Chains A and B, each alone.
Chain A
């Protein structure tokens, strides 16, 4: 069974640009969560989607947005990029909400210059 797939794996952008990251969950998984990981900060929760609806949102500015499609695939977008947005963005899927066990992709490494 294929795992969680994130694209692109690496990307470099400049300040002020915008970026869209994509996540394909494990087949049959309906819940998708996004996290930002920076050195020494652990995983910071961005948002959670279930059945195309945002169910939870972390403490990030409105420049960070996301959506989920009917096939459970999800995208997140960051507009007006700042240097501090450089991070590893991880997507995780699970069968349903509250199961606890998340399956993570390998992440998208974003560098903002």
Chain B
């Protein structure tokens, strides 16, 4: 039972344009959501997070939107840069602190 789903295995975006990565969840008890970025041969690194009491959180070029009624969150990267090419993981947690992870979306930024 996949509680956190990233339905797009990969996404290709032109440099300078907006990248939108999507994530859906099924467990209404999740109250904290995070995005991580992973380069090959490295561990994931934290990118941005959002609490369920908010619907938007922004950090530089990265913005995460949360739609609780749709159980959907998205990560927007504007403008996309070549260094953004990586695998992006969405993760969610409830009160037991255990993070549940999506399968990841590979983002490819084309020059």
Interface residues of A (CB under 8 A from B): 4, 33, 35, 40-45, 48, 55-56, 58, 90, 92, 97-98, 100-107
Partner of A105, one of B36, B43, B102, B104: B43
- Please give me the residue from chain B that is nearest to A9 by CB atom: B41
Interface residues as binary, B79-108 with A (CB distance below 8 Å gives 1, 0 otherwise): 000000000010101001111111110000
Residues of B within 8 A of A (CB-CB), count? 24
- Taken together as a complex, chains A and B put the C-alpha atoms of A106 and B99 apart, in Å, by 19
Are A45 and B100 within 8 A (Cβ)?
Answer: yes
Are A102 and B99 within 8 A (Cβ)?
Answer: yes
- Please give me the residue from chain B that is nearest to A57 by CB atom: B98
- Taken together as a complex, chains A and B put the C-alpha atoms of A109 and B81 apart, in Å, by 29
Interface residues of B (CB under 8 A from A): 6, 9, 32, 34, 36, 41-46, 49, 89, 91, 93, 96-104
Q: Which residues of A contact B97 (CB under 8 A)?
A: 48, 55-56, 97-98
- Taken together as a complex, chains A and B put the C-alpha atoms of A35 and B104 apart, in Å, by 14
Partner of A45, one of B34, B49, B98, B103: B98
Q: Which residues of B contact A100 (CB under 8 A)?
A: 32, 34, 49, 93, 99
Q: Which residues of A contact B103 (CB under 8 A)?
A: 40-42
